[in-house]
Amino acid sequence: MKRTHDCGALRSHDAGQGVRLIGWIQSIRDHGGLIFVDLRDREGVTQIVLDPKNDAYGFPLSALRDESVIEISGKVRLRPADTANPHLGTGEIEVIADGFRVHNIAETLPFPLEDAKADRVNEDLRLTYRYLDLRRGKNLRALRTRHRIARSVRNYLDGQDFVEVELPYLFKTTPEGAREFLVPSRQSPGSFYALSQSPQQYKQMLMVAGVERYYSLARCFRDEDLRADRQQEFTQIDLEMSFIDREDIYGLVEGMMKIVFREALGRDIETPFIRMPFREAMDRFGSDKPDTRFALELVDLSAIFAQSGFKVFRDCLERGGAIKALNAKQLADLTQGELKNLEDIARALGAKGLAFIKAENGEWKSPILKFLSEKEREDLRLALRIEEGDIVFFAATEWLRACAILGRMRLECAHLLADRGRLSIPKDQFNFLWVVDFPLISYDEEQGRYVSTHHPFTAPVEEDEERLRTDPLRVRGQHYDIVLNGFEIGGGSIRIHSADLQSLVMRDLLKLEERTMEDRFGYMLRAFRFGAPPHGGIAIGLDRLAAIICGVESIRDVIAFPKTQKGQDLMAQSPSYAPEKQLRELHIRPVIS
């Protein structure tokens, strides 16, 4: 009996064995008298030898097309040594087909499926034929890597006594978060569900319920504009624990990441991860998700210019602002176009311009030099270690904005230096860190009120709690983000578990009206009065984590059927108009096209 194998299984020790294979035709080569077919399935490729003179096939081989599905039976033989393919697992053998069956003849492909060629094809075309795009080796590998990540997460958390619980997709609207997808209720005309942005409130209720350790690979939905790292529907590794503190979360997640990287990538990562306070991250890198694979750190120059004769800098400091700078080493040869682009980016972030000093041809060049004293120039040279070929960018504004402006400049300059071969940003290096001690709240100028930095359920750092009524902007939250190579891959917090403290934050700080608190969070506040345990958790973006591990730029590449930047599924042609009968049942007036 001929045994069925996958197309990546056969080796030299199988020579002489009768086998059966089924898969897609990857390529066809006519060598004059014999037809050679590379037969592919998800496990690999095997070379098949077909004889056009074999009447037993019952099918004209000239009618075969690439990507057709065929089944063959035959005998394994060793390839001649000079025709073996050392780059293929099955490269030492081939199968001489004595039986042949066609399951499906493919039409002409809309684009080539070889990875190198397909990568140059318009993405919209590939997504229209996503079922073909997924046949490509790199895309199949990405899906299987994602599977290994999910499997290792489940196995790890199961070993840590977690219980996987499915939570509802249909929730109530919570307008203070991201824009939601609304679902009209047929049974309650005029009322709506919202697709869950995250399981946040449900998982806290599980802690009140005594589950103690919950997790799920939770589907989440946000009606937001799409980009490379954002989809309208995405997956979180979501977990919550009772009777823990921040250190428990750090240790648990670091252990999980070690297992994930070992099983998905065969890499061992170092733990524990660096812990970096929010203020330090902003001061040094201009970002609360710093990429630490390269230097280019920001420098605070406020002390140097405290008594400066340069009115712009002095006025900024007198208003309580900061003077910060970035030395983009060896980037003084920026083109005018590149410099203009950097200035446009800075203006978009709130800068009035982009002051700079170039060190080239043995001198400094800058419109601001005439305002600086000799001592200030020397202090700058020492503080920033300015050398020939450098360019220094300045930001003079309130502290957070100055950090953010130069943080963006840092990333842009790093890419420009990498393109010139002057800076290495290793793609196979994985720099984890925890960013901690975020401010619990911030002040929103547009709304004229305090808003939560993370969400309103985050607990304050205990020693800061007394400042909630007197100096709330100095209160740190027990919020933590896990950052990998400049991407925030997850975030969480220790939660408020006291009804009184939760009410204080919502009512006195966030200025939510009593009716609003009752409508949106009444059940939660009531639950906290029935013995709510201390608890906390985290949500990690599975899509972003998989994209980093797979080494791809967009999370679309690790999602089986992603949406385009316009939120469309080009393959299934959604969104689409709903039938009028269904709309009438929902008391919705049809749109007339």
* Residue 564: C-alpha distances to residues 128, 230, 554, 568 (Å): 10, 10, 11, 5
Kindly state whether residue 178 falls inside one of the protein's structural domains.
yes
* Residue whose tokens read 């420009």: 416
Percent of the chain whose pLDDT exceeds 90: 84
Buried b or exposed e, range 325-352, using 16+ CB within 10 angstroms: bbbbbbbbebeeeeeeebbebbeebebe
Query: Both 266 and 308 in a single domain?
Result: no
| CATH number for position 458 | 3.30.930.10
Distance CA 441, CA 456 (A): 9
pLDDT of residue 76 exceeding 70:
yes
Kindly state whether residue 478 falls inside one of the protein's structural domains.
yes
Helix axes 246-265, 542-550, angle to 10 degrees: 40
Distance CA 529, CA 208 (A): 10
Domain coverage including residue 330: 294-419
Query: Both 256 and 155 in a single domain?
Result: yes
pLDDT of residue 460 exceeding 50:
yes
Kindly state whether residue 193 falls inside one of the protein's structural domains.
yes
pLDDT of residue 267 exceeding 50:
yes
Rounded average pLDDT over 180-197: 91
Distance CA 462, CA 475 (A): 9
Kindly state whether residue 134 falls inside one of the protein's structural domains.
no
Q: Which range (1-15, 187-201, 383-397) has the least confidence?
A: 1-15
Query: Both 320 and 387 in a single domain?
Result: yes
Percent of the chain whose pLDDT exceeds 70: 98
**Residues 6+ positions from 332 with CB-CB distance below 8 Å:** 358, 359, 360, 389, 390, 391
- Provide the residue type at 492 as one letter: G
Query: Both 145 and 93 in a single domain?
Result: no
Query: Both 158 and 259 in a single domain?
Result: yes
Query: Both 341 and 255 in a single domain?
Result: no
The winner for highest mean pLDDT among 45-54, 60-69, 535-544 is 535-544
Query: Both 153 and 248 in a single domain?
Result: yes
Provide, for the chain, the percentages of residues in helix, strand and coil under a 3-state DSSP scheme, each rounded to the nearest 5: 35, 25, 40
Distance CA 92, CA 75 (A): 14
| CATH number for position 64 | 2.40.50.140
Query: Both 492 and 379 in a single domain?
Result: no
Per the CB < 8 A criterion, the answer to whether 196 and 169 are in contact is yes
489-534 pLDDT per residue, tens = 999 999 999 999 999 999 999 999 999 999 989 999 999 999 999 9
Rounded average pLDDT over 246-260: 98
Element containing residue 101 per DSSP (H, E): strand 93-104
Other beta carbons within 10 angstroms of residue 458's beta carbon come to 22
Cis peptide bond N-terminal to 575, omega within 30: yes
Per-chain mean pLDDT for the chain: 93
575-593 pLDDT per residue, tens = 998 888 888 888 888 766 5
| CATH number for position 401 | 3.30.1360.30
Q: How confident is the model at residue 53 (pLDDT cuts 50, 70, 90)?
A: confident
Query: Both 261 and 305 in a single domain?
Result: no
Rounded average pLDDT over 550-567: 93
- Give residue 3's pLDDT: 64
Kindly state whether residue 285 falls inside one of the protein's structural domains.
no
Torsion of CA 363, 366, 370, 373, to 10 degrees: -70
Kindly state whether residue 85 falls inside one of the protein's structural domains.
yes
Name the token pair of 537.
Answer: 């958790």
* Total count of domains within the chain: 3
Of 494, 435, 488, nearest in space to 464 by CA = 494
- Strands 432-436 and 69-78, bridge-based pairing: unpaired
Query: Both 405 and 316 in a single domain?
Result: yes
Query: Both 228 and 307 in a single domain?
Result: no
* Higher per-residue pLDDT: 474 or 2: 474
294-314 pLDDT per residue, tens = 999 999 999 999 988 899 999
What is the three-class DSSP state of 386? Answer: coil
Distance CA 507, CA 511 (A): 5
486-500 pLDDT per residue, tens = 999 999 999 999 999
Distance CA 437, CA 138 (A): 40
- Give residue 234's pLDDT: 95
Rounded average pLDDT over 235-242: 98
Name the token pair of 179.
Answer: 């824009």
Distance CA 152, CA 62 (A): 46
* Residue 248: C-alpha distances to residues 206, 243, 433 (Å): 19, 9, 16
What is the arrangement of strands in the sheet containing 170-171, beginning at the earlier edge strand? 170-171, 192-195, 182-184
pLDDT of residue 177 exceeding 90:
no
Rounded average pLDDT over 58-73: 92
Kindly state whether residue 173 falls inside one of the protein's structural domains.
yes
Kindly state whether residue 25 falls inside one of the protein's structural domains.
yes
* Higher per-residue pLDDT: 591 or 16: 16
Q: Which range (43-47, 139-143, 146-150, 585-589) has the least confidence?
A: 585-589
Query: Both 149 and 229 in a single domain?
Result: yes
pLDDT of residue 1 exceeding 50:
no
